[in-house]
C-alpha cells in the first residue's frame, strides 16, 4: 500500500502488539505511525493489575515496573527539544 501512494505519506495506526509485526521498522521509515490510545490503555492495564494485586492479595508486586519520578522528566524534556529543534 505504501508503494501505491508514494510519494504521499501513509498513516498507520498500531494499537496492539498483534498489529506490530516484523515489518514495523520498515513501515516506520515510509509511514507516519500513530499509537492512538495504546499507551494510555497500557498504563491503565498496569494500573488495574497493580490495584488488583494490592486489593486481592495485599501484594505490592504490581509496582515493580513503575518508572521512577525523576526518570520521566528528562524523557519528556529531551523529546520536546527534539520536536522544537
How is the chain split into domains, by residue range? 1-36, 37-85
Residue 83 reports pLDDT greater than 90: no
pLDDT of residue 76: 75
pLDDT top residue among 23 and 78:
78
Sequence-distant (6+) residues with CB within 8 A of 70 are: none
Q: Which stretches of the chain are DSSP H helices?
A: 2-5, 24-30, 38-57, 69-84
pLDDT score recorded for residue 82: 81
| Phi (first) and psi of residue 31, to 5 degrees | -140, 160
Span 9-60, pLDDT tens digits:
788 788 777 755 556 666 666 677 888 899 999 999 999 999 999 999 999 9
Q: What's the pTM?
A: 0.61
Amino acid at each position: 500500500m505504501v508503494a501505491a501512494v508514494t510519494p504521499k505519506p501513509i498513516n498507520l495506526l498500531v494499537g496492539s502488539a498483534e498489529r506490530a509485526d516484523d515489518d514495523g521498522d520498515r513501515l516506520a521509515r515510509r509511514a507516519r505511525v500513530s499509537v492512538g490510545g495504546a499507551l494510555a490503555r497500557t498504563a491503565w492495564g498496569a494500573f488495574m493489575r497493580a490495584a488488583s494485586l494490592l486489593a486481592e492479595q495485599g501484594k505490592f508486586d504490581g509496582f515493580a515496573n513503575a518508572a521512577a519520578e525523576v526518570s520521566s522528566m528528562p524523557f519528556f524534556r529531551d523529546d520536546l527539544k527534539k520536536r522544537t529543534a
